[in-house]
Chain A
Amino acid sequence: MSLLEVDGLYASVNGEPILKDLSLRVEAGEIHAIMGPNGSGKSTLANVLAGRPGYEVTAGQVSFNDTALVDVAPEARAQAGLFLAFQYPVEIPGVSNMEFLKAAWDSHLAAQGAQPESAVGFMKRARALATSLGLNPEFLKRGVNEGFSGGEKKRNEILQLLLLEPKLAVLDETDSGLDIDALQTVAAGVNRFRSADNGVLLITHYQRLLNHIVPDRVHVLNEGCIVASGDKHLAEKLEAEGYAWLSG
C-alpha cells in the first residue's frame, strides 16, 4: 500500500481541464519533487490533493493511506494526515496564530478519539518550535500570518507542518520568495519532518531547494501530466537545460 496513489487523474478548474492522465505513487519515507514550467499544473495537483473547492476531479483515482480521497472534505483529509503548505498563506487578522494552531491540533486529536493536549503543554511546544525555525515566539500571539513577511509566512507553514505531524506533506512552492537564510531554515524544517513513516511531495520551480532537501524521485510535469521521472540528477538537468527540451 502506497502512502499516496494517483492513477489516471484528470482535473479541471473553472471548467478548464488542467491535469490530464496524471499518475504518481509516493511511499512512506520518500520525498518526491514535482517540477515544471509555469502553468504545467503543479499547484493544481496540490490543491486537488487538499480538496480545495473549485478544483474538480473529472476522472481517475486518488487514494491516501488506502482511502479514496476525491469525495472527502478538506478538513477530513487534514485530520487523516494530509497537509498542504500554501504557496500564498492567508492572513487572518483577529485570530491569533496560537489559537488557530491549538484549534487545528485539537481537531486532529479529536479525529483520533484522543483528549485535547493541555494548553500550557501545547503553547510550550509551539514556542520551542517557532524559535527553532527562527520565528520570534511573539509571532504566535499575532493574527495568523498578519503582517508577516513572505519568509515569515513560509516559516509559519513549516511550523504548522511540524506541529500537526501529518503523514503526507504537500509543499506548494514553499521556496518561492525566500532569501537564502529562510530557504535553509525551511529546508531544515522539512528535513526534520522527514521520517520513515511519512512522505513529502515537494512542488518547486527551481533546483535550489533540492540542494538542501534531497529528493528520492523527481518528476517533470508538463501540460497536466508527468512527462519525465528520475532521481535527483533530473533536477540538475532541468537547472542546466531549462524546460525547453520538453517541447523539443
Chain B
Amino acid sequence: MAVGIEALQTLEAPPWLGAGGLTRCRQALGGKLVRETWKYSPLPKVTNALLAADEHQGPPVGALPPGVALHRFDELDVPPTLGIDLNRYPLAGIAAARAGAGWLIDVKRTPSHPLRIPAPALGVSAPLLVRVAASCRVDIEQETVQTTDNADFGAQILVLSLAADSEAHWAAAEFAPTADKWCLLQAHLQRNAALTLNHQGTVSNFLRQDVNIVLGGQGARLASVGAALVQDGGRLDQQLVIEHASGGTVSRIKQHNLAAGRSRCTFNGRIHIHAGASGADADLSNRNLALDPSAEVNTKPELEIYNDDVRCAHGATVGQLDAEALFYLQSRGLGPQQAQRLLSLGFLRDGLAGPYAERAAEAFAAHFTSA
C-alpha cells in the first residue's frame, strides 16, 4: 500500500504498545482484516495524513472536579494498558507513536458535573484513557472544535475503562467541521457496568469512526443512540464492533444516518457474542435515508454468535421517505417539500439523545431551511 513506510519506521513506540507493537501495526495495515473494514474509505490517504499531521500533547481538559485526577502516562509508576487490538486498529498505534504516550483521567469519585473534553478537529491527539472506579458515575461531553489552523486532518483515541457497577455517559457532537478525521472509541466494561453513547451532528468532511465496546463483565450494558446528517459531499464511515464477552450482557444500538446531496454514509455494525456469554441480549438497528439520487449508503449489520443461549436482533434499512407518511402530512395541508423536510428532520431527531440533542436538532433544521 502507498503509505509512507519510511516515516513509520522512524516512529518510536510508546510503552503501552509493547515490544514490536509498531511492527504489528505496520503489518496489520496490509492485512485482510483492516482491508475489509476500510473498504469504503481511503486507508493510505488517512495513514499518510496521520503521519503528516501536527501533534497535540497538551492536557485534554482544564480544571477537574474533586475526585478526578489527570496524569500523563509517562508520569505514572505503572503505565496503564489501553487494550486496543492493534491487528484491527493499527492506526491507533501510529497515532500514539506520533502524539506521545497519552493521558489518564482517573475518576475515583462521582463528579458533580460533566467532564467537558474538547476534541480538537486538527492534529493528532495523544490517547486519552478515562478510568472510572467501581460504583462511580461520570458524564463526558466532547464536541469537536474547529480551529483556524491550516492543517486539514485530525485524529483522536478515547478509551473508557469502567470498573464494576460504574456508569459512564459519553456524548459527542460534530457540527460540520471542515477537517477530515479519524477517531477510535474503545471501551471495556466490567461486571454490571453501564455505558451510554450518544454521537450526533452534521458531517461535511471525511469522518471515520471506529468503535469497539467490550462488555467484559457479567451484566454489563451498552446503550448507543446516534444520528448524523451527511451533507455537502461529506463521507461518514462508522465501524462498530460490540463484543459480548460475558453472560447477561446487554447492548442496544440505534443509529440513524441521512445522506443528502452527493454524500456517502457507511455503517458496519458487528455484534460478537463470545462462547461464554450465556443470556446475552443484543439489538442493533441502523436506518438510513438517501435523500437524493446521487447520495450513497452502505450498511452491513453482522452477527457472530458462539453461544446458543442468546437473544440477538439486528436490522438495517436504506430508503427514501415513507410514502404513507408523506401522504398523511399532505392530507393535512403540508406541501410536498415541507412534508419531506419535516419527515427528514423527524428521522434524524429520532436518533437524538443527550446533552447535544437540542443543538443537533437546530443544526439539522438549519440544513433543511437553507436547502
Contact = CB atoms under 8 A, between A and B. Distances in A.
B96 to A, nearest CB: 39
Nearest to B350: A94
Nearest to B327: A52
B343 A92 contact: yes
A74 B347 CA distance: 23
Contact of B325 (A75, A92, A99): A92
A82 B350 CA distance: 30
A89 B330 CA distance: 13
Contact of A93 (B327, B329, B332, B350): B350
Contacts of A108: 333
Interface stretch (B208-216, B237-245, B334-342): B334-342
Contacts of B322: 90
B349 interface: yes
A75 B328 contact: no
Contact of A78 (B323, B333, B342): B333
Interface string B332-371: 1111101100110111111000000000000000000000
Contacts of B335: 75, 107
Interface string A121-136: 0000000000000000
A220 interface: no
B342 A103 contact: yes
A142 B335 CA distance: 22
Nearest to B352: A94
A95 B345 CA distance: 7
A10 to B, nearest CB: 22
B346 A92 contact: yes
A79 interface: yes
Contacts of A52: 327, 331
A75 B323 contact: no
Contacts of A94: 345-350
Interface-central residue, B323, B329, B345, by most chain A CB under 10 Å: B329
Interface in A143-159: 143-144
Contacts of B324: 90
A84 B333 contact: no
B350 A104 contact: no
Interface in A46-61: 50-53
A73 interface: yes
B330 A73 contact: yes
Interface in A92-130: 92-95, 99-100, 103-104, 107-108, 111
Contacts of B336: 73, 75
A44 interface: no
A235 interface: no
Given A94-B345, A94-B348, 6 more contacts: A73-B330, A75-B332, A77-B331, A86-B328, A95-B346, A103-B338
28 contacts: A50-B331, A74-B327, A74-B330, A75-B331, A75-B332, A75-B334, A78-B330, A78-B331, A78-B332, A89-B328, A92-B325, A92-B328, A92-B346, A94-B347, A94-B348, A94-B350, A95-B342, A95-B345, A99-B342, A100-B329, A100-B342, A103-B342, A104-B329, A107-B334, A107-B335, A143-B346, A143-B350, A144-B328
Interface of A: 50-53, 73-75, 77-79, 83-84, 86, 89-90, 92-95, 99-100, 103-104, 107-108, 111, 143-144, 160, 164
